[in-house]
Amino acid sequence: MPKSVGESIDRVDVGIVVAMPLEAAAIVARMRDCVTVRAGGGRMSLGRLGKATVAIMASGIGGEAAARGTRLIAAGHRPGRLVAAGLCGGLDPGLSRNAILIADRVGMCASPVNRSGHPVLEGGPLPIDPLPTTWNPRPDDRVRRGMLVTSDTVVATAAAKKILRDSTQASAVDMESWWAVVEARRLGLPVHVVRAVCDTATETVPGDVASLSTAGSAARIAGTAVRLLWNRPSAAIDMVELRERAHSAADAVALHLETMLEHWRPDSADGSPGG
């Protein structure tokens, strides 16, 4: 455990990889004894969440960024477990906004469609390590378990989500979890995936607004947003709505992680690093 603010933690109980700074910020807001250090050109926050020590990094969007963030946390702070966390798009119509998906499998859809016009899983599905029993303190009807599929392109429309759901039977889609899981497996780390639904299966995010999620750096996002507003001023409403949804879902993830880690028991087989 950190002894004072400003002290680095050599080994943490849990490493958390997210894509975007807003996802990290929601978790950091619930942490105690939190410090921020530079890591691989980015920033990593260290401290306590619940009863566990954690390191969290916003790695960036996409597979390469997620794998790199996983490596940085593993190399710098030797977590006992890794959690790929953040937002996802709902594919299962039964998942409402801010519902939590605990993935039990993750697949990779690298190509949007095959010749028949349907998406295909090019990797997996890989099984995910079960959560320690101490991390499941009570039933919650907003917490679901199911398969998550990682796509290398944004799946923004209700029609595209339905096609992906029908083809894969996945509950939700993101752009990073597969890669974080593969990297964690390579490093020998137990790995979990915890995501909150930002947009449901029946909701469509306008394509030009959805493109902001893959713009890259903050500077590129700002530039893309300016051009978008110049070409379609009404996009401002869509951008504000999407950001509000994203913040709400990020808060849901942060609360769920904090609740899980309130039951962390480092002296038990279920809660010990690497257990």
Question: What's the rounded Cα separation, in Å, for the pair 83 and 2?
Answer: 20
Task: Flag whether pLDDT at 42 surpasses 80.
Answer: no
Give me the mean pLDDT over the 262-266 stretch: 79
Question: What's the rounded Cα separation, in Å, for the pair 128 and 131?
Answer: 9
Tokens of 193: 């995936």
pTM attached to this predicted model: 0.84
Compute the Cα dihedral for 44, 31, 194, 136 and give only its sign: positive
Question: What's the rounded Cα separation, in Å, for the pair 185 and 196?
Answer: 23
Strands 42-49 and 81-90: unpaired
Question: What's the rounded Cα separation, in Å, for the pair 248 and 243?
Answer: 9
pLDDT digits (tens, 9 = 90+) for 128-175: 988 887 776 566 778 999 999 998 888 888 998 998 999 889 999 999
Choose the weakest-confidence range: 5-14, 87-96, 251-260.
Answer: 5-14
Question: Domains (ranges, CATH) in the chain?
Answer: 14-261 (3.40.50.1580)
* Contact assessment for residue 16 and residue 85, using Cβ atoms and an 8 Å cutoff: yes
